Structure 1
Amino acid sequence: MNYNQLGNSAVQVSDISFGCMSLGTDHTANAALLHRALDAGITLFDTADLYNKGLNEETVGKALHGRRRQVALATKVGNQWRPDGSGWDWNPTKAYILQAAEDSLRRLQTDYIDLYQLHGGTLDDPIDETIEAFERLKEQGKIRAYGISSIRPNVIREYVRKSNIASVMMQYSLLDRRPEESCLALLHEHQISVLARGSYAQGLLLSKPAKPYLSYSAAEVQRAAEVVKQVAGSTSTPAEVAVEFVLKQPVVASAVLGIRTEQQLDDAISAALHRSLPAAELEILRRALPANHYEQHR
């Protein structure tokens, strides 16, 4: 396992991290899975107050409470559940973020969060107020670093310009190369790390039947999956190749892999022991399809 500094912060993260969103409600089973991941060297565990109405944070906190100093806990804020539970509303205000942080600290059974992330964002938000909330929490020692989870270049540029974010979580894979157009270079220039989610492109780069994805047709998706399999050959797996493609970007500090089962954890651990893709094989992957681009929020 390799470890990277998260932006300019003091937070160190494993280059493969555990996306906790899909964990079930069995605390014992979740703890076994999370502990096995930690024993294998995975140290970054990502959740959100939105997931399962806070129960996801609770199960992660319960499992990792006794090993808190060994892990980097990341969670997210901004989506406020309605009192009747019928859905959630976007709320990036300072007052809400400060209160939500207290609730997340309680559910996670910790007195600090390693990475606190805004779970979305638009240009219509009170961005200065949002940043003030994160800076206040950092001054209070309740968070070590903060970032945003966004795929919107216009929003990302605003936070790069105005804030001290350590990271941006964004979708990035062989089937979603939109961040290459402007975001990756901008973030690398400002020493802001990327946490890449969606490395498998919903499993389409692995074994799921091809279907249209973003701007790609089913035939193009099939072609990309075949190229990944070709590059993997007999010495690697498609999962390892898909993740290594993402990690070859210097700005990517960690690939966040959604894990719910033992097999998914096995795949993540295997990816952590990845071989380095030779330049020739990386070029084969890049030539599989023309890179796509963002059509909105540019």
Structure 2
Amino acid sequence: MTTAPHIPWTYARLAGLPLAWRRRVLRSVLAARGLAARLRGRTDEAGFAATFESVLRLPRREALRLSREAARHDVASEIEWCALHRRPVAAILRDVARVSVAEPAVMERVAASGRPVILAPLHMGAYVLGLAALMVRYFPGRPMLVLRQRDDMVMETQVIERLREIDVDVRFLNVTERGDFLSAIRFAQKGAVIVVFCDLDPSYGAPAEMPMFGRPFRFAFGTDTLARLTGATVVPLATTMDDDGDTVGIGRPFEVRGSAPEERAAVADIMRRHLQAAIAARPEQWHLWPMLADYLPSSGTVQDNSPEDGGAPQTLAA
């Protein structure tokens, strides 16, 4: 039996407000707190400025601004977890209604195809709210199977489980053995929508080279095998948060028909482009910057080996 996570009193009060209200109130509170910190000489609230300067090749001033935004986003994300954990169903549905999908026609085509579907989100923004919106709008009645290898996120598990209360049949599958993987295939073939995060570090298995921003990033990438064995369409996703609501960005959907190395490289490049575009567009909202070293060789500094047409951007446009 899992215990309920501790939720600070302030977070609980903010989480009880409607989505736009809680985010605007939080922005005002953190803006005042940030101003006080800067008056005391503290300029890098989240500690990511140096990372943003070196990885994204940003000027110091912009890197500091994004680092402050990252600090705000961390708190905002925690409050969104609390909101999904505590708010009544009717309130959660009102929050879901504030989620827009960047390319709804793409999702409509994928849903209408009748094929198995793999949703591949990043750990960005309020990603559970984004998944809830997609399931309610495009896949009503279909179960959602979340694949993972580790079961150590109590809050995340409890929040995702609450989607059952809005008629999303959520299930979890810890994939550690071959038999578990076969279970995922059977679920997909029976109509389940599979969720596999696309930004896990290589320790999660099946690492693939996905160079970004001039650095040799590597990500876990077993999605291609799952897609090939299930005949699924893979839909890369990225959810971003704003004060008035969230947006689910849709990457290029793809299918995997063979196991040849060149096909794996081709679909890995599709995913690489999606990852780079999503992170470059809203770097302050990617939750995994603290684990950056897990994605890179221990040498740290390397030459630019990104493909010419998808290499490190001079601006934040991928």
How does the TM-score come out when normalised to structure 2? 0.29
Bigger fraction of residues in strand: 1
Q: Greater helix percent: which structure? A: 2
Larger radius of gyration: 2
- TM-score normalised to structure 1 length: 0.30
